[in-house]
A = this chain, B = another copy of it.
Amino acid sequence: MLNPVIRQLADNAARFRTHVCVGLDPDIKKLPDGFLPTVDGVGAFLREVIKASAGLCIAYKPNISFFEALGIPGLALLADLRADCPAGVPWIIDAKRGDIGNTSAMQARFLFDQLGADAVTLHPYMGEDSVAPFFDYRDKLSFVLALTSNPGAATFEKLKMASGATVWETVVSQCVKWHEQWGNLGLVVGGTQGELRDVRAVAGRLPFLIPGVGAQGAAYSDVQSVAAVDGHVAVINMSRSVLYCDSSHHFAQSIRDELGKFRAI
């Protein structure tokens, strides 16, 4: 049986004719005119962003670090915002977690049960018992970091293993095996990486969460034409290029216009 979050992402892509996910990365210094540079101001802005983007994105991806940067009240805001996310739109908390097993179980409880995540992101480094407590939430979805969008992907991810595969290929192959067992994995694959097609070749039908489009430099159309074809689920994230596209108080309409550019006709 298909994981309900994967199914929802696929349904939303068909219904809304887009693959865009809106990354909720609040920056207190970049709020449009009329919002106070406070945690409350951030909250008010993000609620407007969620309203403005309804029907124009398949998911939301708050990055927890941007809320932590606002201190404890920022994390309380992240918890509160869950109620503003429309029904049927997955709430992907980008947390990049992973610890020894019993600690990962606590991380999973925090993200899924307390913050209401439908999906999360994970570091693969510490191996099976580090990620399994997340997979044990069968109706949730876990995106494991595979080939990331940043320059540092060259430090370890792209190195060659004795098997001939790269580190990221080894991680992807392992994730494919885990997906056969648990059925609720996805992969984080940077849109800035030329290897997007190569990752799909190893990844089978695993859904991709793709950062790096917009402010980080990759073009939506390039990524979409490679990753969101043949019925594959691709969640193409855009944060800064959408949230801060207009600093005037016409920002809501500008966000709708910006997101409208990525809809199929």
Contact = CB atoms under 8 A, between A and B. Distances in A.
Interface of A: 25, 63, 65-66, 68-69, 71-72, 75-76, 79, 96-101, 103-104, 106-107, 109-110, 114, 123-131, 145, 148-157, 159-164, 167, 170-171, 174, 211, 216
22 contacts: A25-B103, A65-B107, A68-B110, A69-B106, A69-B109, A96-B99, A96-B123, A100-B211, A124-B125, A125-B157, A126-B145, A126-B153, A127-B152, A128-B155, A130-B152, A156-B174, A159-B163, A159-B170, A160-B161, A161-B162, A162-B164, A167-B167
A100 B150 contact: yes
A127 B101 contact: no
A125 B145 contact: yes
B106 A150 contact: no
Contacts of A145: 125-126
Contact of A103 (B66, B71, B167): B66
A128 B100 contact: no
A126 B148 contact: yes
A30 to B, nearest CB: 12
A183 to B, nearest CB: 19
A156 B125 contact: yes
A185 to B, nearest CB: 14
A164 to B, nearest CB: 8
Given A71-B114, A156-B127, A103 B162 contact: no
A171 B98 CA distance: 17
B126 A98 contact: no
A92 to B, nearest CB: 14
A96 B100 CA distance: 11
A130 B72 CA distance: 23
Contacts of A164: 162
A69 B133 CA distance: 14
Contacts of A100: 148-150, 152, 211, 216
